Structure 1
């Protein structure tokens, strides 16, 4: 994948790895798997093996060709910390992110145990945001693993949110994204799950981003939570000098518009 993304909290996607396998309930109706199957049917060469985990070394230096600073989601179609991605390859990905210092990179994993294990072997650039996915209370241990890493910015993607997450430990966490599942088999998200997390973030002083309600028609369902659109981002030095006022809090936040 390349320039342009429909994901609300990023601008572009970059996939030096494609393919994955399911490891927890949040993976059940994986959007990336559906997308990979479509791309395979279209004859896209990077997806000739469908959703089988595949290193794409020819894609490694792509961000270096993008001269306009932007926010880039790394491996929207895979998981960089999958057990079959060698450490040396992960280090090459991080080296590219270091060299492409004018961009902001967002890396997200469900394999937080391997992330924690490999973190001492990784040189963590300041422009890399590291996140973990947590879909229900059985997987909050991923947050503890994230906290042990050397990432400058740490975030949580609580999507698809499949259950309540009371009493989250948010110390050391800079950003929380919440979203319901989307797609033909989407499982519902209770409004109180989202509002409780919002309130926890407000109490802890953590930036809160409500991505979507989800459902079969996510555009129709929208992303308004109790009359507001929550699009706060971590208050770090922006790669693009754009600021807007969050409708949720009224504070000026460094964001990419």
Structure 2
């Protein structure tokens, strides 16, 4: 699960950490936990310990072996900023990124306060780089929305929101300091529904703030049946400028001034 990805907004995944602990309602049907627990107890399997937290230092240098620039989702099978990951190890991850700056690293967390704390203690030369994109998950008002303020206070070059799974109407968001927004519904068994009006509200706020909007999926038990179209359109927008795109998997970078139609 490292040399390619079916996730629409990235090209590859890199997992120098495995496993995590659920912290909020967005974790209820975690795809990573479901996948990892299938293999618990299987000798010699990467996930033989299920979704228990593990540092995987032998995976640290993986991006150094990738020559073609690509967008890299860092720790798709974990959360780099969970309490069980030492700050010294997090720094090692950032040091590897600095040695392979041809890629764009998309780091997503539900631990916004710890990300702010750890990144504030690291050299700006590691954190505030165009190839490092820092993001937080936002699933609801109680747990997700407060993470936006922590992200805004985190030193970084580019900040993004992954509003997935979107579980309720988020209301009016403060999007100052945010450079990109991804929205998606929950998928798989037990998926909770996402309403169109919730998505359109976020889209309209992004248009007002001139922020690129990426609609990942409607989700559902059979997500492929519902697709990715929002009112007849597909939204594959990325931040302008450096995007770390795989040339074989280009994406549209749409103008900020597009209007809701």
Calculate the TM-score normalised by the size of structure 2: 0.91
RMSD (CA atoms) = 1.9
User: What residue ranges of structure 1 are gaps of 5+ in the alignment?
Assistant: 252-257
- Residue from 121, 134, 140 that aligns with 1:136: 140
> In structure 1, the residue corresponding to 2:26 is in which secondary structure?
helix
Answer whether contact 1:79 1:110 (CA < 8 A) is retained. yes
Distance 1:81 1:167, change over 3 A: same
More strand, by proportion:
1
1:93-108 aligned at under 5 Å gives the runs 93-108=93-108
Q: Distance in 2 between matches of 1:40 and 1:85?
A: 21
Question: Any idea what the Cα deviations from partners look like across 1:159-216, whole Å, max 9, x if unmatched?
Answer: 0000011111001100000000000110000110001000000000001000000000
Alignment match, 1:92? 92
Q: Report what 1:9 is aligned to.
A: 9
Structure 2 residue runs without a partner (length 5+): none
Query: Match of 1:229, SS?
Result: coil
Match for residue 197 of structure 2 among 187, 192, 202:
192
**TM superposition outliers: structure 1 runs of 4+ over 6 Å:** 247-251
Residue 180 (structure 1) aligned to one of 165, 181, 185: 185
Per-residue CA distance 1:84-111 (angstroms, 9 max, x = gap): 1000000000001111110010000000
1:23 aligns with 2:28: no
3-state SS in 2 of match to 1:224: coil
> What is the match of residue 163 of structure 2?
158
Distance 1:91 1:215, change over 3 A: same
Q: Which residue of 2 aligns with 1:255?
A: none
- SS of 2:6's partner is coil
Contact 2:71 2:246 in 1 (8 A): no
| 2:108/2:136 contact within 8 Å kept | yes
Residues 244 and 56 from structure 1, CA distance in 2 versus in 1: closer, same or farther, beyond 3 angstroms? closer
Cα distance in 1 between the residues matched to 2:251 and 2:13: 23
Q: Deviations over 1:37-90 (max 9, x none)?
A: 234476563212110010000100001011111000000000000001000000
Task: For 1:101 and 1:250, locate their aligned partners in 2 and report how far apart those are by CA, in whole Å.
Answer: 30
Question: What SS does structure 1 have at the residue aligned with 2:38?
Answer: helix
Deviations 1:121-177 (A, max 9, x none): 223132010000010111311000001111111000000000011111001100000
Which aligned pairs between 1:62-101 and structure 2 lie closer than 5 A? 62-101=62-101
1:229–1:43 distance in 2 versus 1, CA, 3 Å: farther
Cα distance in 1 for residues equivalent to 2:229 and 2:112: 30
User: In the aligned structure 2, how far is the partner of 1:227 from the partner of 1:248?
Assistant: 19
Paired residue total: 251
TM-score using structure 1 length: 0.92
The answer to whether the 8 Å contact 2:71/2:243 transfers is no
